[in-house]
Amino acid sequence: MSRRSWWSAVVLFGVVVAGLVHPAPAVAHDATTKAHAEVTGTGANVKVVLDLEYDLLMKSAWLYAEAYEAKERTEQLRQLTINRDAVTEYVTERFAVAYDDKACTPTMAGDADVRMRGKAAFAVLTFAYACGDEAGGVHAISSALFPDAETFVHSTETIVRYDLAGEKGSAVLAAAHPTLRVGEHDLWQQVGEFFLLGAEHLVFGLDHILFLLALLIGARGLRDVVITVSAFTAAHSITFLLAAMGVVDVPGEIVEPVIAVSIIVVAIANLLGREADRLGKWRLPVVFAFGLMHGLGFAGALDIDQSGSWELLLSLLSFNVGIEVTQLAIIAVLFPLLVLLRRTSAARWAVVAMSVPIVVVSLYWFFDRIPLPL
C-alpha cells in the first residue's frame, strides 16, 4: 500500500473510531440545550414566553435533587410552584429586555407549565416586562441562559421569535452575540444565524455523519454518490420542513432508535458487499426511507415544532441549507480518500475495519435510545 493510500485509510478509520471513543448520547442532539423565547408586544411593554429544559433549569437555580430529579408532570409543576422565587431570580438575571437602552422590569405572569419537547420536559414560563409608556422606541432582547461557566451544559443557544410593534422575525442568541436589537436585525443576519445552526448540528450530530460515511463506503462511484446523497437529501429535507412547521409529528422515542437502525442496515450492507447487490435496487428506496427519519431528527434538534412555524420558513430553509452545505463539504473530503483506498489491495479489509465499528456504535445507540418503563 502506498503512503498516500495508507494515510487515507488512517483518516477514515479515525473518523469511525471517534464514535467508539466518544459515543454520542442517547439522543445525539442533546449534547447541549436550546432555550426558546417567544417575545410579543404592541407597544413598549412586552410579553415573553420561555421554554427551558426542566431539569437543567432546576439544577442551574441550585435547587435540591428532589426538584431537578422530578419525572412526573404533576410533581414538576409542584416543584415549579414551590421554587417560583428561585426560578424567577435565575431566569430574570440571565434573560433581559431593554427599551431604548433602559432595562425593563420583569414579573412572572401566571403559573408555570411543563410540556415535552422530544424526550425532554421543558418548563414554560411567562413573564411580563414593563418598559414604560412611550411608544416608538427600540427593544433589545438579551439571553445568557445556561452559560458554559455553570458547567451543566455548553454552547447554549436561545432561539427567539419576536413580533413587536409590527416587526417580526427570528434570531439565534449565543455567548458570542447575546443581544438582538429589534429593527436592526436584518434578513441576511437571520439567514446566516440559522445557516450556522444547521451546519453546527450536522458537525456535532455524529449519528448523521456515520450514516453519511456508511453511504459513501458502499458507493460504487461518483454517479452512485450523487444519486444516493440526492435521495437522502430530498427525503430529509421533506420531513424536516414538515415536522418543523408542525404538519407531521412523530415522537422522538420512535425517530431516534430508527435513525440508529438506519446506520446499522447500511453498514451491514457494506459488509455483505456483492451479496447485498444481488438483492436488486434496494439501496435507493432504503436510503430515501431512512432519510425521511433523519429529517425528523433534524427537526427535533431545532426544536421548532409548533403549527405556527410557517412564519419561520426562511429560518427553517436556512437551517436546512446549512446542513446540506456541510454535508457536501464532508463528502468532498471523505469521498476522494475512499477512492484512493479502493485502488489498494487493502480495500476490502478497510471496508470491514470501518463498517464494523459503525455497526457496534449504532447498536449501542439503538439500545440506549429505546425508552424503558420507569
Per-residue pLDDT reduced to its tens digit, 83-136: 999 999 999 999 999 998 899 999 999 999 999 876 789 999 999 999 987 777
pLDDT in the model for residue 118: 67
Among the listed residues 189, 196, 174, 192, the one whose alpha carbon sits nearest the alpha carbon of residue 323:
196
What SS3 class is residue 303? coil
Distances (CA, A) of 21 to 140, 189, 360: 43, 37, 12
Query: What's phi and psi for 151, nearest 5 deg?
Result: 70, 0
Most confident by average pLDDT, 89-103, 160-174, 299-313: 89-103
Q: Is the predicted pLDDT of residue 10 greater than 90, yes or no?
A: no
pLDDT beyond 80 at 9: no
Tell me what pLDDT residue 30 has. 43
Q: Above 90 in pLDDT, residue 323?
A: no
How far, in Å, CA of 29 to CA of 300, rounded? Answer: 8
| Spatial distance between the Cα atoms of 238 and 219, rounded to a whole number of angstroms | 23
Average pLDDT over residues 284-312: 71
Report the pLDDT value the prediction gives residue 98, as an integer from 0 to 100. Answer: 94
pLDDT of residue 271: 83
Identity at 183, one-letter amino acid code: G
* pLDDT at residue 312 in the model: 67
Which of 105-114, 149-158, 203-212 is predicted least confidently?
A: 203-212
Classify 265 as helix, strand or coil.
helix
Q: Are 311 and 244 in contact (CB under 8 A)?
A: no
Minimal CA–CA distance to 266: which of 291, 286, 296? 286
Mean pLDDT of the chain: 81
Distance CA 171, CA 23 (A): 31
Name the 3-class secondary structure at 343: coil
Q: Which of 5-9, 64-68, 217-221, 238-242 has the lowest mean pLDDT?
A: 5-9
Q: Look-up: residue for cell 449519528? A: 207
- Rg over alpha carbons for the chain, rounded to the nearest Å, is 23
Q: What is the pLDDT of residue 133?
A: 72
Mean pLDDT of 74-86: 95
Query: Which is more confidently placed, 40 or 119?
Result: 40
pLDDT higher than threshold 90 for residue 208:
no
- pLDDT for position 58: 93
Q: pLDDT tens digits for 119-131?
A: 789 999 999 999 9
Distance CA 50, CA 38 (A): 7
Return the domain boundaries, the chain.
Answer: 3-24+205-369, 32-193
Mean pLDDT of 211-236: 85
Pairing of strands 113-117, 102-103: unpaired
Q: What is the mean pLDDT of residues 50-78?
A: 92
Does this model's pTM top 0.85?
no
pLDDT above 80: residue 4: no
Under the banding of pLDDT at 50, 70 and 90, the label for residue 371 is: low
Q: Cα separation of 190 and 171, whole Å?
A: 6
pLDDT at 84: 95
What's the pLDDT score for residue 373?
52
Tell me: pLDDT of 31 over 90.
no
